[in-house]
Amino acid sequence: MALKDNYLESLRRQVAEVEPHDVAALCAAGAVLIDIRDHDELADGSPLSAQAINRGFLELKIETVAPSADTRILLLCANGTRSLLAADALLRLGYRDVRSIIGGFGRWKQQGLPFATIPQLDNTERKRYVRQLLMPEVGMQGQLRLKQSRVLLIGVGGLGSPAALYLAAAGVGTLCIVDDDLVELSNLHRQIIHCEEMVARPKVDSAAQRLRSLNSSAQVSALRQRIDEHNVDAIVSDYDLVVDGSDNFSTRYLVNDACVKWSRPLVHASVFRFDGQVSVFLPRSGCLKSPCYRCLFPQPPGTDLAPSCADVGVLGVLPGIMGTIQALETIKILLDIGDPLVGRLLCVDGLSGEFQMLDVEPDPHCMCCNQSDVALQPQTRLPKVQ
């Protein structure tokens, strides 16, 4: 015991310490506050501005929040002991200004400082998402953000099937699927969320059952109805992001206009025989370079230029590819990582195996996203996990 006490005493002479009530001013000046407690401990709450990095991963993940050796780092544990040991490790790693918070989170609460109770993943969820949790771009905070996200999927056909499956598998907490169609045998070569037993059943019922069996923790709601001008606002406004897997231009325009109105990110894709397209639209969300769907297609092309797959066919695997890319783009937006396909149209030629990226500029004369009442429109509400 004396050895440990002597060691901690020597650390206190080497590591700067700070009172909890001084943390806010240091963070305002650019310091990074890191809560190094275990996940179970975080259930009791954590300072509002803290980033959670478990002590066991601190050295591995520290550069994701403190890329510069000159970053001032403030470490918080339960009572101020583990933070001393962690501070010593970061100083040895090369960081120049690392400080331990005296008394840890216990003292933080005693001083009446603000904190928030953070939703946690249970043991089953940690095992399920362990491969994503290992990725610094996701981690515990990202996984919690996915869990709190609400995604609307228009259509559970060839595009919506893989998108819904991968979003549920990734841990998106709430999924709403909208479709008014029934499962047909001819759907099954591409609409992989359905099965033979569900033929002649509503697609939303089939899809909801499959998603719940894939991930029982996902909240899945099913709306068996067609999107129209009477319901589109009420449906779109209740979700953080919209994945458009519809197969007709009238629905695409309705959904686009509602997403512009409510500042909801829209992840769009379409397929034609061996060709596919996918893009992301973020109009009125602070992204000045983002067009909307009407910027790309101001008017629907004639039926001779855009016949349906019922008329000309489609290779079943192609919507699987495009729907999977939609799921990827959705996750990137929800986690605020990477470079989403904003202002770009990804075109896939299945026969040649070529991927081509086309730039899409906002249309300054667009009848939808270039209106003068932008400031009056509701703003996006993507979830934030502190």
Q: Which sequence positions are flagged as catalytic?
A: 309
Q: Give the whole-angstrom CA distance, residue 65 versus residue 71.
A: 9
- Tell me which residue of 329, 332, 326 sits closest to 145, measured CA to CA: 332
Does residue 284 contact residue 273 with C-beta atoms inside 8 Å? no
- Tell me which residue of 288, 244, 236 sits closest to 262, measured CA to CA: 236
Q: Are strands 72-76 and 32-35 parallel, antiparallel or unpaired?
A: parallel
Q: How many CA atoms lie within 13 A of 189 on its CB side?
A: 7
| Angle between the N-to-C axes of helices 139-147 and 317-335, in degrees from 0 to 180, rounded to the nearest 10 | 110
Q: Give the whole-angstrom CA distance, residue 265 versus residue 244.
A: 10
Q: What would the 3-class secondary structure string for the chain be? A: CHHHHHHHHHHHHHCEEECHHHHHHHHHCCCEEEECCCHHHHCCCEECCCEECCHHHHHHHHHHHCCCCCCEEEEECCCCCHHHHHHHHHHHHCCCEEEEECCHHHHHHHCCCCEECCCCCCHHHHHHCHHHHCCCCCHHHHHHHHHCCEEEEECCCCCHHHHHHHHHHHCCCEEEEECCCECCHHHCCCCCCCCHHHCCCEHHHHHHHHHHHHCCCCEEEEECCCCCCCCHHHHHCCCCEEEECCCCHHHHHHHHHHHHHHCCCEEEEEEEECEEEEEEECCCCCCCCCCCHHHHCCCCCCCCCCCCHHHHCECCHHHHHHHHHHHHHHHHHHHCCCCCCECEEEEEECCCCEEEEEECCCCCCCCCCCCCCHHHCCCCCCCCCC
